[in-house]
């Protein structure tokens, strides 16, 4: 077996990913699968099977991403009485091609009105918008509306956009402000700001 100091940097990467990934909190059911997968990656790495180690690390990363998405979707409020809520996490495949991140959306419908709330985090597009939504330019994007302690921009079409904790984009679209406001107000914004940290 080659001493670690003599291995090329590319062979050290899987071990550093394993160590960083092990430091993340996980839910009990998935945690066992993540731990098992990372242990398999480590065993493959120590046996010199870099291809298998890389495959295991990639699978562990997918499991952790799914946990991250589930955690974000949990912030989407329950449907008010008389409404239905349908959660969609399918956007994550597209986000992966746009640099990563996590996203979840919920469509709320009462038979007369419907609207969608979308949450996106840790994505390059969200990071690019932070300068506009977090500063003086915010007012130039539309009317500023407060929901709880969060400032939303109400755009021309009535869509609402806010940046929570400088990393989670919250967007609501499809209905009048007063229809969407109570559901948006049910989001735990302080906890959302710290989500995933």
**Distance of alpha carbon 89 from alpha carbon 98, whole angstroms:** 15
Reported residue count of the chain is: 197
Q: What percent of the chain has pLDDT over 70?
A: 68
The three-class DSSP label of residue 57 is helix
DSSP-derived secondary structure for 143-186: EEEEETTEEEEE-TTS-EEEEETTTEEEEEESS-HHHHHHHHHT
Can you say how many angstroms the Cα of residue 123 is from the centroid of all Cα atoms in its chain? 8
Q: pLDDT (tens digit, 9 = 90+) per residue, 84-124?
A: 999 886 765 555 555 567 888 899 999 999 999 999 887 76
Do β-strands 143-147 and 160-164 pair in parallel, antiparallel, or remain unpaired?
A: unpaired
Decide if pLDDT at 189 tops 90: yes
Please choose, from the candidates 88, 85, 119, 86, the residue with its C-alpha nearest in 3D space to the C-alpha of residue 102: 119
**Domain locations in the chain?**
4-72, 76-193
Decide if pLDDT at 41 tops 50: yes
Do residues 195 and 75 touch, judged by C-beta distance below 8 A?
yes
pLDDT band at 76 (very low <50, low <70, confident <90, very high): very high
Q: pLDDT (tens digit, 9 = 90+) per residue, 129-180?
A: 666 666 656 656 678 889 988 989 888 778 999 888 888 889 999 999 999 9
Q: Which residue has the higher pLDDT, 126 or 76?
A: 76
The DSSP H or E segment spanning 105 is: strand 102-109
**Distance of alpha carbon 75 from alpha carbon 79, whole angstroms:** 12
Mean residue pLDDT of the chain comes to 77
| CATH 3.40.50, domain 76-193, yes or no | no
């Amino acid at each position: 077996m080659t001493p670690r100091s003599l291995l090329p940097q590319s062979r050290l990467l899987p071990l550093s990913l394993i160590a960083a990934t092990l430091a993340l909190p996980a839910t009990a059911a998935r945690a066992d699968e993540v731990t098992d997968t990372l242990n398999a990656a480590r065993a493959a790495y120590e046996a010199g099977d870099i291809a298998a180690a890389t495959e295991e690390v990639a699978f562990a990363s997918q499991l952790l991403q799914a946990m991250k998405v589930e955690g974000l979707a949990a912030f989407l409020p329950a449907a008010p009485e008389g409404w239905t809520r349908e959660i969609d996490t399918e956007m994550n495949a597209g986000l992966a091609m746009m640099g990563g991140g996590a996203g979840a959306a919920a469509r709320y419908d009462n038979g007369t009105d419907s609207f969608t709330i979308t949450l996106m985090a840790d994505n390059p597009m969200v990071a690019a918008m932070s300068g506009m939504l977090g500063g003086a330019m915010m007012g130039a994007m539309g009317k500023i509306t407060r929901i709880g302690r969060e400032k939303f921009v109400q755009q021309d079409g009535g869509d609402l956009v806010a940046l929570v904790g400088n990393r989670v984009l919250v967007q609501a679209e499809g209905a009048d402000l007063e229809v969407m406001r109570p559901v948006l107000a049910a989001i735990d914004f302080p906890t959302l700001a710290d989500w995933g940290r």
